[in-house]
Structure 1
Amino acid sequence: MPDFQRRKFLVQGSTAALAGMAGLNSSSPASAAPTDELVAAAKAEGHLTVVGLPRDWWGYGDIIDGFKAKYGLGITELMPDAGSAKVINTIRNARDTADPQAPDVIDVGLPFALSAKRDGLLRPYKVAAWEAIPDAAKDPDGYWYGGYYGTLAFEVNADIVTTMPTDWADLASPKYKNAVGLAGNLTSNQAIQGIFAAGLSAAHGNADEAADQGLSFFADLSRRGNFVPIVGGLASLEDGRTPILVRWDYLAATDRERSGGRTRIEIVRPKTGIVGGVYAQAISAFTPHPNAARLWMEYLYTETRAFLNSGYAPADLEGKLARVQHSGTEVYPLFPTQEELDRAREIITNGWGDVVGVQIQCLPCGSPSGIPMVFSEGTIGQRTMSR
């Protein structure tokens, strides 16, 4: 099948702890220098503004510091905890302003990159390593390129949960009463795809039925008293309010690092319903520093291949998206198309109140949300959605 999610990206030699993630690699030399002209133009601009990049996410702290040290540009780290929707809104706002602190470069979930291109919010640029980036992981005109991806998993507080769930159906067991939560509100990409993944498992891989089956799955969890209707995060995982979270595997791994050993956190990738989500890099159409933005992309993809060196990317890619280890078996994730995601979002957000019948409550203000790219603007459950 020709569409994006059916392309099978082949991993060679996955040895890192996070087997569900992939960075970009190529057969090109380990590093390549950007042109002198680009470096000079970027230095003349003197500044770069990034948005939605916390320092403990994907090694971005080291990446930002390395870029700054090498080229001497000032860097504004705008709203490091912003989710993809808020990041895109900062670009929309920049259309009508001449703010020098408007974002230059973004890192967002693929659906947001696709819609941003459609809305004229991105500027195309092809890095020197363009040919090494898999065709299925980049826009053919250079408006965005994938950096990494992960799959939905169960993040489990092993100090509380002694028997690990191995698949979605296990979550309905009486042993997980008052235990299962979603990490992300109902408008977030993470929650939508988590519900979709549960439904994909129940529908035996039929993506057309996944959204409806996902609603039925969570309605059943709620009736059994297993679903906890709060927006889960590291705090609720550790204190036992949601000792099992449906979460991107890389976010779960970051939670484990942030916990620092005070909580035993296990990451379980289910046997079925394996859904992947790609995050994309792009340059704002309204960048105040276009050459600094281009130099940043060269630093990420051509000069250092910073994703591969960040410690989170486990494997080399050969022109394809990666197989991942789930319960000891190599499998190909399903990467939903934009059409499938749009349809799933409509079914889930419109049907949640009637089918599941509970409102997901946000954590109190000040509670650690943990990770960006989880929360999106909007209200929850039976209330109005912003998108």
Structure 2
Amino acid sequence: MIRSPHRSRRVLVTAAVGAVVALGAAGCVSSGGSSSSASGGNAWATATSAQAGGGTDALVAAAKAEGTLNVIALPPDWANYGNIIKGFSDKYGIKVDSANPDGSSQDEINAVKQLGTQDRAPDVLDLGQSFALGNVDLYAPYKVATFDSIPAANKDANGAWVNDYGGYISIGCNSTLVPVCPTSFADLAKPEYAGKVALNGDPTQAASAFASVWAGALANGGSLDDITPGVTFWGSVAKSGNLLKVDPNSATIQSGQTPIVLDWDYLNVAETEKNKASFDWKVAVPTDGLFAQYYAQAINKNAPHPAAARLWQEFLYSDEGQNLWLAGKARPIRLEAMTAGGTADKALLAALPPVSGEARFPTQAQTDAANKVVAQNWATATS
């Protein structure tokens, strides 16, 4: 289903892309493996690259000796994480303990702080961008072998955090119930879509809905410095009767209760696959308000399995790992470089809604300011 259970994870953690953009295209915490808190004496705990630690073969051997990797807040059906975890475990023979798969970015940060050097602390983190930027002191800098092929804007210069995968705000539409599907924000205001348009959650709480408000701003004269036109736009959509006060998920999509859904393109495209036997769920990235989000990887500086943590990063940013995210309909951070180099899976790439242009990202200050505007004005604007 569309990941409504993970809204807490997605709250106010967005990185935006405005105007014309390109996106290079976890239960209780479980017990860890054999490294224990002794990772502080493990040379891999401070290695800033595989080469610095003795080379890739040495890294693989050390990670296999540790035998375990602790991950957290990775839903198996989100962006293909179930297959990514399986692929890593099968390839290296390393057990992956996945804690709190329905957790939030804040849950991840809390676990790092509360568990300290315990064996069950997370080794690695997958975070919303604002959480990644706001907790750099918790991470171990590390540069994967493919570090240079990752755009400078999408990584810490020392590798403390690196964007991993993302997607665009898109419009999903049941073409059986909606004869002419909308492809732009301007379309969403048309009378023919009365009672048909749904946001994935409350934008004061859910990042995908918040992103839809910012995309609406970009489509209506706003900017990364001014999200107010987006609040105004969605207020008018609500007052016209077009905006549904229904939280969409796979069940509401299948029943026809939410025939038009604003959500990340990799989630909307997944709905296309799920429902192709019943109806055509069309997906369009709006041409007049492009907005995208990347998540970010980081290594816990107190990782109980420091070699496995670094090997996990190497796997994720390899062509193999990046194509696994692509198989989940997400856009891996190295997609542009892989497309140029011919290593991106062409069939998987063809399944993505087309987008082209140059990426722009807001500062943390812009994101914080936009969050405040939405929190203060959304309820009144849409009532």
Q: TM-score range by the shorter chain?
A: 0.7 to 0.9
CA change 1:190–1:263 in 2 (3 A) is same
Task: Specify the alignment match of 2:134 in structure 1.
Answer: 115
**Equivalent position to 2:243, from 227, 230, 238:** 227
Give the Cα–Cα distance (whole angstroms) in 1 for the partners of residues 273 and 303 of structure 2. Answer: 34
Give the Cα–Cα distance (whole angstroms) in 2 for the partners of residues 325 and 253 of structure 1. Answer: 8
Deviations 1:330-364 (A, max 9, x none): 4445433322211111110121123223xxxxxxx
Tell me the C-alpha RMSD between the 2 structures.
3.2
SS of equivalent residue, structure 2 residue 176: coil
SS of equivalent residue, structure 1 residue 184: coil
Give the Cα–Cα distance (whole angstroms) in 1 for the partners of residues 377 and 293 of structure 2. Answer: 23
Percent of aligned pairs with the same residue? Answer: 35
Task: Specify the alignment match of 1:306 in structure 2.
Answer: 321
* Contact kept in structure 2, 1:153 and 1:248, CA below 8 Å: yes
SS of equivalent residue, structure 1 residue 308: helix
Give the TM-score, by structure 1 length: 0.75
SS of equivalent residue, structure 1 residue 41: helix
- The gaps in structure 1 that reach 5 residues or longer are 11-19, 23-32, 358-387
SS of equivalent residue, structure 1 residue 195: helix
Deviations 1:95-138 (A, max 9, x none): 4xx54333211222322211232xx2322211122222221221
Task: Specify the alignment match of 2:61 in structure 1.
Answer: 40
Task: Specify the alignment match of 1:57 in structure 2.
Answer: 78
**Structure 2 residue identity aligned to 1:340:** Q
Give the Cα–Cα distance (whole angstroms) in 1 for the partners of residues 240 and 16 of structure 2. Answer: 36
CA change 1:114–1:8 in 2 (3 A) is farther
**Equivalent position to 1:105, from 124, 128, 131:** 124
**Structure 2 residue identity aligned to 1:36:** D
User: In the TM superposition, what is the alpha-carbon distance from 1:142 to its structure 2 partner?
Assistant: 0.9
* Contact kept in structure 1, 2:21 and 2:290, CA below 8 Å: no
Task: Specify the alignment match of 1:375 in structure 2.
Answer: none
CA change 1:6–1:256 in 2 (3 A) is closer
* Contact kept in structure 1, 2:72 and 2:124, CA below 8 Å: yes
* Contact kept in structure 1, 2:253 and 2:259, CA below 8 Å: yes
Query: Which structure has the highest helix share of the two?
Result: 2
Task: Specify the alignment match of 2:369 in structure 1.
Answer: 343
User: In the TM superposition, what is the alpha-carbon distance from 1:293 to its structure 2 partner?
Assistant: 0.4
User: In the TM superposition, what is the alpha-carbon distance from 1:325 to its structure 2 partner?
Assistant: 12
Q: Is residue 2:183 matched to residue 1:166?
A: yes
**Structure 2 residue identity aligned to 1:169:** A
Q: Is residue 2:303 matched to residue 1:287?
A: yes
**Structure 2 residue identity aligned to 1:192:** F
Give the Cα–Cα distance (whole angstroms) in 1 for the partners of residues 321 and 285 of structure 2. Answer: 26
CA change 1:156–1:355 in 2 (3 A) is same
**Structure 2 residue identity aligned to 1:339:** A
Give the TM-score, by structure 2 length: 0.76
Q: Give the aligned length.
A: 327
* Contact kept in structure 2, 1:215 and 1:351, CA below 8 Å: yes
Q: Pairwise mapping of residues 198-217 of structure 1 onto structure 2 (< 5 A)?
A: 198-203=216-221, 206-209=223-226, 211-217=227-233
Give the Cα–Cα distance (whole angstroms) in 2 for the partners of residues 247 and 237 of structure 1. Answer: 12
User: In the TM superposition, what is the alpha-carbon distance from 1:260 to its structure 2 partner?
Assistant: 5.4
Task: Specify the alignment match of 1:73 in structure 2.
Answer: 94
Task: Specify the alignment match of 2:44 in structure 1.
Answer: none
**Structure 2 residue identity aligned to 1:114:** L
Task: Specify the alignment match of 1:251 in structure 2.
Answer: 267
CA change 1:89–1:246 in 2 (3 A) is farther
